[in-house]
């Protein structure tokens, strides 16, 4: 039996794997791939200590770091997908599409996927104007007309961030009422460069090589309308990769794993979680890595006490 299973190879899992190696814990890090969600990003400008790095290069540096420190203690099980995580005997068993792994402790760092904008053109123009991360890509749209899709708090907070750089921000929302807090809606909507359109159905992302706009149906009149913009920021929610842990640990209403933010412990002794798969409020690489480190410090002390 191993000391620890780490599920995930994004910043949370890799940070934890690095610390596990330094603490000589017998660990298996299971991940479909090393790098995580921002691997697809053209330029990450807020990874502390690195002014700008392509997502693919950040993923490579994660792998290089793991290879440099893993030694005999940390094994990488890459290209494997965990399908079930269960309590067995004195520990836990993770079942993947290829193998079974057992350990006394588990760190779930399986991240999340953004809910995509499911209209024609959205996939084609992803990273060519369609983006899912305002703090990452917002500055690229300085002086531009941009659209935010989504009327929850994330949509309005994204709009507020973009108003600092963009020429204009148009937020479009499916319903007549917003999910976002009234105070936030009022404050953001009051900005002179902000426009809000409710009761819409997005139809298509328009463009040649890059985004030039978006069409939508005005649900009050049935009319098809077009907005001109070079950036479309989608805030339609995130889907955590937690299905394999359902029934083992407690989730919040969005199927994110609830954790104690002091130490990343879940509702089950011996299971920790870190990064975007948890009910952590903010989703960033640095935060995920920090959560992974925090979990590892606590896991180490817990294992030594067993
Ligand atoms: C397009 C985009 C750009 C972004 N740009 C930035 C940026 O510039 N700066 C910033 O700070 N943040 C950025 N973010 C947010 C940032 O990427 C996330 O907050 C961060 O990646 C979360 O890290 P994580 O380790 O929790 O999970 P993830 O990065 O989601 O990694 C999850 C890992 O778990 C693995 N995995 C998932 N399910 C399973 C399973 N069942 N079995 C095995 N392995 C599994 C995956 O393969 C992956 O290795 C961006 C996000 C997106 C979508």
pLDDT (tens place) for every residue of the chain, 306 residues total: 999 999 999 999 999 999 999 999 999 999 999 999 888 777 788 999 999 999 999 999 999 999 999 999 999 999 999 999 999 999 999 999 999 999 999 999 999 988 999 999 999 999 999 999 887 889 999 999 999 999 988 899 899 999 999 999 999 999 999 988 899 899 999 999 999 999 999 999 999 999 999 999 999 999 999 999 999 999 998 899 999 999 999 999 999 999 999 999 999 999 999 999 999 988 899 999 999 999 999 999 999 998
H helices then E strands: how many in the chain? 6, 17
Tell which residue, 31, 110, 99, 28, has the closest CA to residue 70.
Answer: 28
Q: Is residue 218 part of a domain?
A: yes
Q: How far is the CA of 189 from the centre of ligand 1 (A)?
A: 31
The pLDDT of residue 10: 98
Q: Is residue 119 part of a domain?
A: no
Do both 223 and 250 map to the same domain?
Answer: no
Do both 166 and 225 map to the same domain?
Answer: yes
Do both 49 and 192 map to the same domain?
Answer: no
Do both 22 and 107 map to the same domain?
Answer: yes
User: Which of the listed residues 285, 292, 293 should we mutate to test ligand 1's pocket, taking the one with most ligand atoms within 8 A of CB?
Assistant: 285
The pLDDT of residue 38: 85
Do both 202 and 291 map to the same domain?
Answer: no
d(CA 26, CA 121): 46
Q: Which residues are catalytic?
A: 133, 136-137
Question: For the domain that residue 220 is a member of, what is the CATH number?
Answer: 3.50.50.60
Buried b (16+ CB within 10 A) or exposed e, 199-236: ebebbebbbeeebebbbbeeeeeeeeeebebbbbbbbb
The tally of domains found in the chain comes to: 2
Q: Is residue 67 part of a domain?
A: yes
Query: Which residues are CB-contacts of 134 (< 8 A; sequence separation ≥ 6)?
Result: 157, 158, 161, 162, 233, 235
Residues of the domain holding 178: 130-234
Ligand 1 cavity residues, CB under 6 Å:
7-13, 30-33, 36-38, 40-41, 44, 46, 81-82, 109-112, 114, 132-133, 136, 241, 244, 275-276, 283-286, 288
Q: How far is the CA of 36 from the centre of ligand 1 (A)?
A: 4
Q: Is residue 286 part of a domain?
A: yes
Do both 201 and 296 map to the same domain?
Answer: no
- Neighbour-count burial of 128, counting CB atoms closer than 10 A to its CB (0-12 exposed, 13-18 middle, 19+ buried): middle
Residue whose CA is at the smallest distance from ligand 1 atom 39: 110
Measured between alpha carbons, how far is residue 180 from residues 155, 201, 246, 276, 303 in Å? 8, 18, 28, 21, 42
- Atom of ligand 1 lying closest to residue 110 CA: 34
**What is the model's pTM?**
0.81
The pLDDT of residue 180: 85
The pLDDT of residue 162: 95
User: Which of the listed residues 125, 133, 274 should we mutate to test ligand 1's pocket, taking the one with most ligand atoms within 8 A of CB?
Assistant: 133
Q: Is residue 47 part of a domain?
A: yes
The pLDDT of residue 181: 84
Give 210-246 as a 3 state SS string: CEEEEEEEECCCCCEEEEECCEEEECCCEEECCHHHE
Q: What are the start-end ranges of the H helices in 141-232? A: 153-162, 182-189
The domain boundary residue, chosen from 186, 207, 234: 234
The domain boundary residue, chosen from 199, 218, 234: 234
The residue whose two tokens read 């997005």 is: 202
Residue whose CA is at the smallest distance from ligand 1 atom 44: 31
- Atom of ligand 1 lying closest to residue 46 CA: 9
Buried b (16+ CB within 10 A) or exposed e, 141-150: beebbbbbbb
Do both 54 and 30 map to the same domain?
Answer: yes
The domain boundary residue, chosen from 195, 210, 234: 234
Q: How far is the CA of 14 from the centre of ligand 1 (A)?
A: 11
- Atom of ligand 1 lying closest to residue 34 CA: 49
The CB-side HSE value for 213 (13 A sphere, CA atoms) comes to 6
Q: How far is the CA of 287 from the centre of ligand 1 (A)?
A: 11
Q: Is residue 30 part of a domain?
A: yes
Q: How far is the CA of 62 from the centre of ligand 1 (A)?
A: 12
Do both 77 and 134 map to the same domain?
Answer: no
Q: Is residue 124 part of a domain?
A: no
Do both 104 and 252 map to the same domain?
Answer: yes
CB atoms within 10 A of CB 111: 26
Do both 21 and 105 map to the same domain?
Answer: yes
Query: Which residues are CB-contacts of 158 (< 8 A; sequence separation ≥ 6)?
Result: 134, 148, 150, 233, 235
Q: Is residue 172 part of a domain?
A: yes
Do both 210 and 244 map to the same domain?
Answer: no
């Amino acid at each position: 039996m191993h000391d620890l299973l780490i599920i995930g190879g994004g910043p949370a899992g890799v940070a934890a794997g690095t610390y596990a190696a330094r603490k000589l814990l017998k660990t298996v890090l299971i991940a479909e791939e090393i790098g995580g969600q921002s691997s697809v990003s053209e330029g990450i400008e807020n990874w502390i200590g690195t002014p700008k790095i392509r997502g693919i290069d950040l993923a490579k540096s994660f792998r290089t770091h793991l290879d440099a420190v893993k030694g005999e203690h940390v094994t990488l099980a890459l290209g494997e997908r965990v399908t079930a995580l269960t309590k067995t005997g004195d520990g836990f068993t993770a079942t993947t599409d290829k193998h079974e792994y057992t350990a006394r402790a588990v760190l779930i760092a399986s991240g999340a996927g953004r809910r995509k904008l499911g209209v024609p053109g959205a996939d084609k123009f992803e990273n060519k104007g369609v983006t899912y991360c305002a703090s990452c890509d917002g500055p690229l749209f300085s002086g531009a007309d941009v659209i935010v899709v989504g009327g929850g708090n994330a949509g309005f907070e994204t709009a507020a961030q973009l108003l600092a750089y963009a020429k204009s921000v148009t937020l479009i929302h499916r319903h007549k009422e917003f999910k976002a807090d009234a105070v936030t809606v009022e404050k953001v909507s009051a900005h002179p460069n902000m426009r809000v359109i409710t009761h819409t159905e997005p139809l298509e992302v328009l463009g040649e090589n890059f985004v030039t706009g978006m069409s939508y149906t005005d649900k009050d009149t049935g009319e098809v309308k077009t907005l001109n913009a070079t950036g479309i920021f989608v805030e339609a929610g995130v889907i955590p990769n937690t299905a394999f842990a359902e029934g083992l640990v407690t989730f919040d209403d969005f199927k994110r794993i609830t954790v104690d933010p002091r130490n990343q412990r879940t509702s089950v002794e011996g299971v920790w979680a870190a990064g975007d798969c948890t009910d952590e409020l903010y989703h960033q690489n640095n935060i995920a890595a920090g959560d992974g480190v925090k979990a590892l410090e606590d896991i180490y002390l817990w294992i030594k006490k067993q």
